[in-house]
Amino acid sequence: MQTSKHNQTAIQRSTLIDALRTILVDDAILFEQEDLKPYECDGLSAYRQLPLVVVLPETIPQVQAIVKLCQQHEIPVVARGAGTGLSGGALPHSEGVLLSLARFNQILDINVQQRTARVQPGVRNLAISEAAKKFGLYYAPDPSSQIACSIGGNVAENSGGVHCLKYGLTVHNIQQLKIITIDGELIEIGAQGLDAPGYDLLALLTGSEGMLGIIVEITVTLLPIPERVQVLLAAFDDVVKAGEAVGNIISAGIIPAGLEMMDKLAIQAAEAFVHAGYPVDAEAILLCELDGTNEEVSAHILTVRKILQDSGATEVRTARDETERMTFWKGRKAAFPAVGRLSPDYYCMDGTIPRKHLPRVLKTMADLSKAYGLPVANVFHAGDGNLHPLILYDANKPGELERTEAFGGKILELCVEVGGTITGEHGVGIEKINQMCVQFKPLELTQFHAIKAAFDPKGLLNPGKAVPTLHRCAEFGAMHIHHGELPFPELERF
Fold of 107-224: 3.30.465
- Nearest Cα neighbor of 470 from 445, 453, 491, 448 is 445
pLDDT at 9: 62
d(CA 405, CA 349): 10
Domain with CATH 3.30.70.2190 in the chain: 228-337
Which distant-in-sequence residues (6+ apart) come within 8 Å of 298 by Cβ?
Answer: none
Q: Are 125 and 82 in contact (CB under 8 A)?
A: no
Q: What is the pTM of this model?
A: 0.93
CA distances from 414 to 241, 442, 472 (A): 20, 20, 21
pLDDT at 452: 97
pLDDT at 2: 44
Q: Are 229 and 289 in contact (CB under 8 A)?
A: yes
Domain with CATH 3.30.70.2740 in the chain: 343-417
The percent of residues above 70 in pLDDT, for the chain, comes to 94
pLDDT at 410: 96
Q: The domain at 5-100 falls in which architecture? A: 2-Layer Sandwich (3.30)
Q: Are 160 and 187 in contact (CB under 8 A)?
A: no
Beta-strand pair 137-138/186-190? unpaired
**Average pLDDT over the chain, rounded to an integer:** 93
DSSP H stretches of helix in 160-199: 164-167
Domain with CATH 3.30.465.10 in the chain: 107-224
pLDDT at 1: 40
| 343-417 placed in CATH 3.40.50.720 | no
CA distances from 367 to 4, 94, 339 (A): 51, 39, 20
Give, for all 494 residues of the chain, the pLDDT tens digit: 444 455 556 658 899 999 999 999 999 999 999 999 999 999 877 889 999 999 999 999 999 999 999 999 999 999 999 999 999 999 999 999 999 999 999 999 999 999 999 999 999 999 999 999 999 999 999 998 999 999 999 999 999 999 999 999 999 999 999 999 999 999 999 998 877 889 999 999 999 999 999 999 999 999 999 999 999 999 999 998 998 999 999 999 999 999 999 999 999 999 999 999 999 999 999 999 999 999 999 999 999 999 999 999 999 999 999 999 999 999 999 999 999 999 999 999 999 999 889 889 988 999 999 999 999 999 999 999 999 999 999 999 999 999 999 999 999 999 999 999 999 999 999 999 999 999 999 999 999 999 999 999 999 999 999 999 888 998 887 665 554 455 666 666 66
Q: The domain at 228-337 falls in which architecture? A: 2-Layer Sandwich (3.30)
d(CA 237, CA 124): 38
What is the spatial order of strands in the sheet that 174-180 belongs to?
Answer: 107-111, 116-119, 214-221, 174-180, 186-190
d(CA 86, CA 157): 10
Neighbours of 191 (CB within 10 A): 14
